[in-house]
Every structure is written in structure tokens, then in C-alpha cells.
Amino acid sequence: MNADTVMGMTYQAMKIALAMAGPLLLVTLAVGLLVSVFQAATQINEMTLSFIPKLLAMFAVLVLLGPWLIGLMVDYIRQLFGQIPGLVS
């Protein structure tokens, strides 16, 4: 195993991590922004008000994208396990 192989595997792992975390983070950001605008417009300054909508939004995204996220991770792990015989030399 050389440095190029390790860097390639690291790059691929980072891409998978970003692809899995990206949708969750973007939805949470959007919901947080909407709740903040609502709080500013209504002058409700409750810190815990944004927590429940963010939780519900993340739950909805996990329910909708869960099969895709699991498939992405399973494909990545299968590819890694498939590379093991070629890495041992």
C-alpha cells in the first residue's frame, strides 16, 4: 500500500461522508433560517423554539433519504472490502 492508495481511499471516504451529511445539514440550516426569520418577525426570543422544527426536519429527511444513504454506505463498504485482497502484498 502506497501513499497514492491511502490518499485515494481518504478522498473517497470524505466524499461519502459529505454526501451523507450534506442533505441533513442543508435541511437543518434551512429550517433554522426560517425559524429565525419567524422569531425576528414575531419578536419571540425563545431559544428552544428552533430545536423541535429542526429535529422534525432531520427526522423527515432521514425517513425520505434513509434507503439512499444506507445504499451509499453499503456500496462504499463493499468496495472497500473488495479492495482488501489487492492491498495485501
Cα–Cα distance, 87 to 62 (Å, whole number): 34
31-71 confidence digits (pLDDT tens):
999 999 999 899 888 888 889 999 999 999 999 999 999 99
* pLDDT number for residue 21: 95
Alpha carbon of residue 20 to chain centroid: 3
Cα–Cα distance, 87 to 89 (Å, whole number): 6
* pLDDT number for residue 89: 66
Domain layout of the chain by residue ranges: 3-87
Q: Which of 10, 19, 4, 3 is nearest to 80 (CA)?
A: 10
Question: What pTM was estimated for this model as a whole?
Answer: 0.80
